[in-house]
Amino acid sequence: MAFFIKQNDTSPAFKATLKDGLDAAVDLTGASIRFHMRPTGDTTAKVDATAVIEDADNGVVYYNWVAADTDTIGSYEAEFEVTFTGGEIETFPNNRFVEVEITDDIA
């Protein structure tokens, strides 16, 4: 899966449905969530911020960009980190990263 956004844009939000290994939506009731993004091949996060749970029962989450998130064109890796009510932490997707491409704009 890849997500494309133009440099300096803050819309659309990055939206995802978090699923387990059986491809079933994860119940996020009571959980908290963070969005992480880093340049591909780098170890330093460009974004480490709170994300929003839109539909807890169906695992739907989103992240609202701020201008600093998309100010640099390039390829990025992204993930959502969930902390469940019991303190367990799970990252989605857990077998890869979501590709984010920030492309240049004309003006």
Q: Residue 54 maps to which CATH number?
A: 2.60.40.3350
In the block, which residue shows the tokens 């993930």? 79
Q: Are 100 and 12 in contact (CB under 8 A)?
A: no
Q: How far, in whole angstroms, is CA 78 from its chain's centroid?
A: 5
pLDDT recorded at residue 107:
78
Q: What is the pLDDT of residue 1?
A: 73
The reported pLDDT for the residue numbered 14 is: 97
Query: How many domains in the chain?
Result: 1
Distance between CA atoms of residues 8 and 18, nearest Å: 26
Question: For 7-66, how does the pLDDT look when each residue is reduced to its tens digit (9 = 90+)?
Answer: 999 999 999 999 998 999 999 999 999 999 999 999 999 999 999 999 999 999 999 999
Give the number of C-alpha atoms closer than 13 A to the C-alpha of residue 3, restricted to the C-beta side: 22
What pLDDT sits at residue 34?
98
Question: What is the token pair recorded at 7?
Answer: 């440099």
- Rounded to an integer, what distance in angstroms lies between the CA atom of residue 70 and that of residue 63? 13
77, 35 in Cβ contact below 8 A? Answer: no
Domain range for 59 is 2-103
